[in-house]
Amino acid sequence: MNAGTRNLEPLGLYIHIPFCSAICNYCNFNRGLFDALQKARYVQALLSEITRAGEAGKVSADTIYFGGGTPSLLEPAEVARIIDACREAFDVASGAEVTLEANPESVDEARLAAFRHAGVNRLSFGVQSFREEELRRLSRLHTVERATLAVTEARRAGFDNLSLDLMMWLPEQRLDQWLRSVDAAIALGPEHLSLYLLEVYPNAPLREDMARARWSQAPDDDAASMYMEAMERLDAAGLEQYEISNVAKPGRQSRHNLKYWTDGEWLGFGCGAHSTRDGVRTKNVSATEDYLACIAGGLTAALEIRRMSGDERLGDALFTGLRLAEGLNLEAIRERYGVDVWQRYGAELADHVDAGLVRREGNRLRLTRQGMLLAHEVMAVFV
């Protein structure tokens, strides 16, 4: 296979829901404040966009992912209509993974049971921290108790596939405090956890909050320890690292997100959503009202449509593949792109191998855990 060859793996379908009950002070996502009327128009627009995508012929898909924003602000009946539209427009596998991102304060057992009934079979809870003061510093709306209860409610509602998001390197957070959050997450027995390092963007209100309250982030070395020690605890708890920021019980990796990291293909619906298919990358218009206007006018919402060059596709495959704990499959890269990675980049990679950041094991090139902390330095080799 070469760079121009079509990928025959089933697609992932991403649905963007840009509404939130309040805007968190660190947030850099494409989202806005919830408005019931706008949401109703938005769901209608999503249904049209999905239906139109299916008009070119039914292709296979095996994951649906509702991301945001706060998708759990949709009514379960709206989620059901969107999933049904996906099933009409695509040949959605019977065992498809259907994920809904949910904020703990926006759910209760009845709502969760209704989401389950609508066809959602995986929940990803934005918990972020199991310490009250940290949640307040991030201006999150939920409490530790609500997050804990949400997990119990999800189990009672029949979900056997749960993921929790946690954030580390929070303002004023010390290593032992972070590890307490990690332990609290482990104690809830999720199938999957995502760990993110807080990034304080230049124009984030959190930056001002931090200056005003004189909150600071721990030194870089502590951030490194937060990552390493958390991963060790998660390993010991049977949550295996499969990507730089993600761990899962065996067989419970996010099948949808794996498409992003294994050179897969997906279609995105909604404002700001990206798609990658047949070597073409598209990005929908970001602003919600602009998106609604495009769809209402019978136009495509795709603002950017770009055919990727062979080198660009190779670069993406290398960047994303190296994020995986199992590393890059050098043989697959050679077959797909006709490039011997070691021959092309071996001289530059050798320094990183010597420094213990990268390992070559047979057909695989993978980052060590130390290398994962400095992934951007290693990946610079491919630029």
Nearer to ligand SF4, 20 or 301 (CB): 20
Nearer to ligand SF4, 103 or 177 (CB): 103
Nearer to ligand SF4, 21 or 309 (CB): 21
Nearer to ligand SF4, 38 or 262 (CB): 38
Q: Give least dist CB 234 to ligand SF4, A.
A: 23
Nearer to ligand SF4, 69 or 268 (CB): 69
Task: State both tokens at 303.
Answer: 């603002």
Nearer to ligand SF4, 23 or 110 (CB): 23
Q: Give least dist CB 289 to ligand SF4, A.
A: 18
Q: Give least dist CB 23 to ligand SF4, A.
A: 5
Q: Give least dist CB 14 to ligand SF4, A.
A: 15
Phi, psi of 65, rounded to the nearest 5 degrees = -130, 115
| Identity at 158, one-letter amino acid code | G
Nearer to ligand SF4, 195 or 358 (CB): 195
Q: Give least dist CB 355 to ligand SF4, A.
A: 35
Residues of this chain that interact with ligand SF4 (CB under 6 A) are: 20, 23-24, 27, 29, 31, 68-70, 103, 126
Q: How many CB atoms lie within 10 A of CB 1?
A: 12
Contact 316, 379 (CB under 8 A): no
Q: Give least dist CB 101 to ligand SF4, A.
A: 8
